[in-house]
Chains A and B, each alone.
Chain A
């Protein structure tokens, strides 16, 4: 029931957080930095925005807290790690598929000619 709210297009913050967690579990600060890096500095989150999004994404079933720590010896116990759920991964792939189709369509209409995207 809760998961229905994310079957629509994802917001940029949600998309980039999912993207940041797509290959490994990360804690808050790592997510923040990765989002900034992946979005070429366009999305700069602060702790409030980040944990607000995380809270809503957990409630929506997109991500979950990972209780095992990747490297417990060198890690601060207070840090919380997050990972994608199956549903979250599916939503991310669906979103990427949507982008791919949009780019393909734009490419067909020669809207993005010269970007080397024709092979999509």
Chain B
């Protein structure tokens, strides 16, 4: 009989514990239940136990919830400040990246006969690497949805340009290896990656950069 009473008691107490904030329960639910069991074991009088428990609940519930709200506000403010710093870093990186890529693409498109194969190879590598970095930074930052889309588009198109150029050259080399040098003349140049590298990705890059500039100017970068 006593055991049944105790089991009912602990179940009711468990239900009441649900009124406390989750963060508090995460740390103290089990030890609080343990104390309740100890109280039941050592102090058999149900009335005394429940009088003390209910008085305790009334006193501590309000206090814990209030503290939880205060802590939540502080954490929100800290996260907001951290996020602003992080987003500022992403935006600065993005501006440097855009200037760099616009200069490089311009140089690459119009000066390709003069910059040589090796320089072209490294430039494409750098463009792809900064593209990946921008995608990761933008994905992790707490940006507004539209800002995130434009930032990622900028990074992805830069990566696409670099990759497409590599793949175009690779297909070109494979054709030369497995067929003959004259095959290129007969079949024509590899068109898919060529169009991606020279038309689609640069256009997407421009859209990404212009869209991002507009959002930065309108201060619509932050998620809140």
Instruction: Please list the residues of chain A having a beta carbon within 8 angstroms of any beta carbon in chain B.
Output: 27-29, 32, 44-52, 54-55, 76, 78-80
Contact of B35 among A32, A44, A55 (CB under 8 A): A32
Name the residue on B nearest A48 (C-beta): B60
Q: Is the CB of A29 within 8 A of B24?
A: no
Assess whether B2 is interfacial by the CB under 8 Å rule.
no
Instruction: Please name all residues of chain A whose beta carbon is closer than 8 Å to the beta carbon of B20 when the two chains form the complex.
Output: 48
Assess whether B151 is interfacial by the CB under 8 Å rule.
no
Q: How far is the CA of A80 from the CA of B32 in the complex (A)?
A: 10
Assess whether B188 is interfacial by the CB under 8 Å rule.
no
Q: Is the CB of B34 within 8 A of A46?
A: no
Name the residue on B nearest A76 (C-beta): B34
Assess whether B64 is interfacial by the CB under 8 Å rule.
yes
Q: Is the CB of B38 within 8 A of A46?
A: no
Q: Is the CB of B28 within 8 A of A51?
A: yes
Summarize A's interface: helix, strand, loop or mixed: helix
Q: Assuming the A-B contacts A48-B61, A48-B64, are A28 and B31 also in contact, with contact meaning beta carbons closer than 8 angstroms in the complex?
A: yes
- Distance to closest chain A CB from B70 (angstroms): 12
Contact of B57 among A27, A46, A79 (CB under 8 A): A46
Q: Is the CB of A78 within 8 A of B59?
A: no
Interface hit among B48-56, B123-131, B193-201, B207-215: B48-56
Q: Assuming the A-B contacts A52-B63, A55-B27, are A45 and B56 also in contact, with contact meaning beta carbons closer than 8 angstroms in the complex?
A: yes
Q: Is the CB of B53 within 8 A of A46?
A: yes
Q: Is the CB of B31 within 8 A of A79?
A: yes
Q: How far is the CA of A68 from the CA of B10 in the complex (A)?
A: 28
- Distance to closest chain A CB from B39 (angstroms): 8
Tally the A-B contacts, defined by beta carbons under 8 Å.
59
Instruction: Please name all residues of chain B whose beta carbon is closer than 8 Å to the beta carbon of A50 when the two chains form the complex.
Output: 35
Q: How far is the CA of A82 from the CA of B104 in the complex (A)?
A: 63
Per the 8 Å Cβ criterion, residues 74-115 of B in contact with A are none
Q: Is the CB of A52 within 8 A of B60?
A: yes
Assess whether B36 is interfacial by the CB under 8 Å rule.
yes
Q: Is the CB of A47 within 8 A of B30?
A: no
Q: How far is the CA of A49 from the CA of B58 in the complex (A)?
A: 10
Q: How far is the CA of A45 from the CA of B39 in the complex (A)?
A: 12
Q: Is the CB of A29 within 8 A of B28?
A: no
Contact of A46 among B27, B28, B52, B67 (CB under 8 A): B52
Q: Assuming the A-B contacts A55-B24, A78-B31, are A49 and B38 also in contact, with contact meaning beta carbons closer than 8 angstroms in the complex?
A: no
Q: Is the CB of A48 within 8 A of B32?
A: yes
Per the 8 Å Cβ criterion, residues 143-196 of B in contact with A are none
Q: Assuming the A-B contacts A46-B53, A55-B27, are A29 and B38 also in contact, with contact meaning beta carbons closer than 8 angstroms in the complex?
A: yes
Q: How far is the CA of A55 from the CA of B64 in the complex (A)?
A: 10
Instruction: Please name all residues of chain B whose beta carbon is closer than 8 Å to the beta carbon of A32 when the two chains form the complex.
Output: 35
Instruction: Please name all residues of chain A whose beta carbon is closer than 8 Å to the beta carbon of B56 when the two chains form the complex.
Output: 45-49
Q: Is the CB of B32 within 8 A of A51?
A: yes
Q: Is the CB of B31 within 8 A of A51?
A: yes
Contact of A44 among B27, B34, B52, B57 (CB under 8 A): B52
Q: Is the CB of A48 within 8 A of B34?
A: no
Q: How far is the CA of A27 from the CA of B28 in the complex (A)?
A: 12
Name the 7 nearest CB pairs between A and B, nearest first.
A46-B56, A48-B60, A47-B32, A29-B38, A51-B28, A47-B35, A48-B56
